[in-house]
Amino acid sequence: MDRPSSPLPRRRFLHLTGAALGLAATSGCATAGRTRSTGAGLLSAGAATDRTWTPERFDPWIELDRAAWTQNVREAARLASGRPILAVVKNNAYGLGDRAVGPLLAGMPEVGGIASVRVEEALAMREEGVTKPIVVMAEGSEDEIEEMARHDILPSVWLDDAPARLRSVSRRLGRPVPVQLFIDTGMNREGMPYTRARRWIEELVQSEYVDVNGTYTMFIHDLDFNREQLARFEELLAWARGKNLPLGTLHASPSFELFNLPEAHYDMVRPGNALFGNHLSGGEGAGEMADLRPVFRMNARVVRVERLEPGDGAGFRHTFTADRATWVALLPVGRTDGYPSEANGTCEVLINGRLYPVAGGVNSAHTILDIGPEKTVEVGDVATLIGPDHPSVLPHTVAERTGRGFLGIIQFMNPRLPRRVV
Ligand SMILES: *Cc1c(COP(=O)(O)O)cnc(C)c1O
């Protein structure tokens, strides 16, 4: 059965924007930061901004605090002595939502480009109006490399057969394929091992079907070994200079090395965590070196307030039992939204400037709070489960109290929750 077709098929839309954006990106007149408002139906659930958020909404939403992101980006740029930032927005922006975070970061003058690890993420950010360079820090199939090239997205290569695959993609495109070379200097995760990179680099740089736009490596966050990695990378770079092989923009430093290894800042720095307010990612002392702010709130509205008499219970198997007359409030937010079940009995929630303990369990989609003997909370009040507004609800506090770690909190924010930039 035929379904009515959308006015502009998705692929065609991507091709059109890719072509248009390619021009903008290469001429340097980036106009990122706008969110595409046309093309109804082209954005998936969990999309950029206020699309599914209404002021009356009870269900949870994520707020992205523009001022805090700006602060963190400026701090990163300061640590990098003004070098541009290649902002890492991978894994759905570490859980916070790439369709919202990508354009937000790309709109800042200190951000020179965006890096992701999945092709889909890069395409989603292009769809959302990001016009600055995007690097995908992963190898792709020929089809994926072609698709990236058509949307002015830079794939990375590190496999031995990259020259052959790029030749084939270049034939399809009728032009050289812009790529970034990922060199493994001893992490043994991704990258072409530095020990056998020379002939491979030579072939790629000298070929007519490749345009080497940049070259990079990844550090292991151990300062002694980092210096060894740096020496290996430097030796390769010196060899390439000696051979007159241009390697494009050089970058190497994620957050830890942004803080701790200034000699590796090269042309751009490549932090993710620091921009997301995770000062722990910079190691000990990072908190004194930079003033990084929490960048998001997890909010919901109180949807029920009821009084319990002494001895009444609340939740499955009466997780909570009232030892005095008290009020309990229900929040329509739970584990599947990304609020950790370990928050029960350990965490508090901020409502109208006051803290209330999580007491009746964190279920799949519900959380019960103990309000106390006074009815200080009303249906419709906004509750902040995680956010910058009180030390007890900071992402790091929730992470510590639940034993999850910072990334263990933000990575599990449900992609479907609406994101609002405030
Ligand atoms: C994740 C990642 C980064 C960013 O690391 P952070 O610790 O979040 O700053 C940089 N480069 C590569 C290759 C990565 O995978």
Domain end, chosen from 284, 318, 342, is at: 284
Statement: residue 201 has pLDDT above 50 = yes
Mean pLDDT value across residues 206-216: 98
pLDDT category, 421, cuts 50, 70, 90?
Answer: very high
Distance 233 CA to ligand 1 centre (A): 17
Question: In ligand 1, which atom is closest to the CA atom of 94?
Answer: 8
Distance 116 CA to ligand 1 centre (A): 9
Would residue 135 count as lying in a domain? yes
Backbone angles phi, psi at 293, to 5 degrees: -110, 150
Computed over every residue of the chain, the mean pLDDT equals: 90
- Do 72 and 25 share a domain, yes or no? yes
Per residue in 333-375, pLDDT (tens digit) is 999 999 999 999 999 999 999 999 999 999 999 999 999 999 9
- The reply to whether ligand 1 has any atom less than 6 angstroms from the CB of 217 is no
Q: What share of the chain has pLDDT > 90, as a percent?
A: 84
- Do 237 and 153 share a domain, yes or no? yes
- Helix (H) / strand (E) element for 192: namely strand 192-193
For residue 329, the cross-strand partners are 305, 369
- The reply to whether ligand 1 has any atom less than 6 angstroms from the CB of 253 is no
Ligand 1 pocket check: which of 88, 98, 121, 189 to mutate, most ligand atoms within 8 Å of Cβ? 88
Q: Whose CA is nearest to atom 10 of ligand 1?
A: 254
Would residue 3 count as lying in a domain? no
- The reply to whether ligand 1 has any atom less than 6 angstroms from the CB of 137 is yes
Would residue 218 count as lying in a domain? yes
Per residue in 378-419, pLDDT (tens digit) is 999 999 999 999 999 999 999 999 999 999 999 999 999 999
Nearest C-alpha neighbor of 247 from the set 321, 157, 355, 374: 157
* pLDDT number for residue 143: 98
Would residue 42 count as lying in a domain? no
Cβ-proximal residues to 93 (8 Å cutoff; 6+ apart), any chain = 100, 101, 102, 276
- Taking the C-alpha atoms of residue 326 and residue 116, their distance in angstroms, rounded to an integer, is 48
Cβ-proximal residues to 126 (8 Å cutoff; 6+ apart), any chain = 14, 17, 18, 21, 134, 151, 152, 153
Would residue 133 count as lying in a domain? yes
pLDDT category, 127, cuts 50, 70, 90?
Answer: very high
Per residue in 229-257, pLDDT (tens digit) is 999 999 999 999 999 999 999 999 999 99
* pLDDT number for residue 284: 86
Work out the widest C-alpha separation in the chain, in whole angstroms. 82
- Do 225 and 333 share a domain, yes or no? no
- Compute how many other C-beta atoms are within 10 angstroms of the C-beta atom of residue 206: 11
Would residue 50 count as lying in a domain? no
pLDDT category, 296, cuts 50, 70, 90?
Answer: very high
- Can you give the residue range of the structural domain that contains 389? 296-421
Ligand 1 pocket check: which of 270, 276, 278 to mutate, most ligand atoms within 8 Å of Cβ? 270
Distance 294 CA to ligand 1 centre (A): 19
- Do 219 and 328 share a domain, yes or no? no
- Do 102 and 233 share a domain, yes or no? yes
Question: In ligand 1, which atom is closest to the CA atom of 273?
Answer: 8
Count the residues in the chain. 422
Q: Are 343 and 401 in contact, with CB atoms under 8 Å apart?
A: yes
Would residue 266 count as lying in a domain? yes
- Do 306 and 356 share a domain, yes or no? yes
For residue 321, the cross-strand partners are 313
State CA 380 to chain mean position distance: 30
Nearest C-alpha neighbor of 118 from the set 92, 150, 142: 92
- Do 245 and 374 share a domain, yes or no? no
Per residue in 18-35, pLDDT (tens digit) is 333 333 333 333 333 333
Mean pLDDT value across residues 88-94: 98
Cβ-proximal residues to 31 (8 Å cutoff; 6+ apart), any chain = 24, 131
- Compute how many other C-beta atoms are within 10 angstroms of the C-beta atom of residue 123: 22
3-state SS, residue 135:
strand
Per residue in 134-180, pLDDT (tens digit) is 999 999 999 999 999 999 999 999 999 999 999 999 999 999 999 99
* pLDDT number for residue 287: 87
Would residue 210 count as lying in a domain? yes
- Taking the C-alpha atoms of residue 350 and residue 392, their distance in angstroms, rounded to an integer, is 8
Q: Are 252 and 215 in contact, with CB atoms under 8 Å apart?
A: no
- Taking the C-alpha atoms of residue 269 and residue 257, their distance in angstroms, rounded to an integer, is 9
Distance 73 CA to ligand 1 centre (A): 15
Mean pLDDT value across residues 38-65: 67
Looking at per-residue pLDDT, the higher value among 284 and 332 belongs to 332
Both tokens of residue 185?
């200097």
Domains: count for the chain:
2
- Do 134 and 185 share a domain, yes or no? yes
- Do 83 and 183 share a domain, yes or no? yes
* pLDDT number for residue 10: 34
- Taking the C-alpha atoms of residue 35 and residue 12, their distance in angstroms, rounded to an integer, is 19
Domain end, chosen from 284, 316, 345, is at: 284
Distance 271 CA to ligand 1 centre (A): 6
* pLDDT number for residue 50: 58
CATH of the domain at 92: 3.20.20.10
- The reply to whether ligand 1 has any atom less than 6 angstroms from the CB of 292 is no
Nearest C-alpha neighbor of 296 from the set 409, 382, 377: 409
Domain end, chosen from 250, 284, 318, is at: 284
- Do 322 and 179 share a domain, yes or no? no
pLDDT category, 53, cuts 50, 70, 90?
Answer: confident
- Do 276 and 177 share a domain, yes or no? yes
- Taking the C-alpha atoms of residue 221 and residue 77, their distance in angstroms, rounded to an integer, is 20
- Taking the C-alpha atoms of residue 304 and residue 381, their distance in angstroms, rounded to an integer, is 10
Statement: residue 224 has pLDDT above 90 = yes
Alpha helices in 189-292 (DSSP H): 198-206, 223-242, 255-260, 286-289
User: CA end-to-end span of the chain, whole Å?
Assistant: 44
* pLDDT number for residue 49: 59
Both tokens of residue 64?
């992205």
- Do 154 and 30 share a domain, yes or no? yes
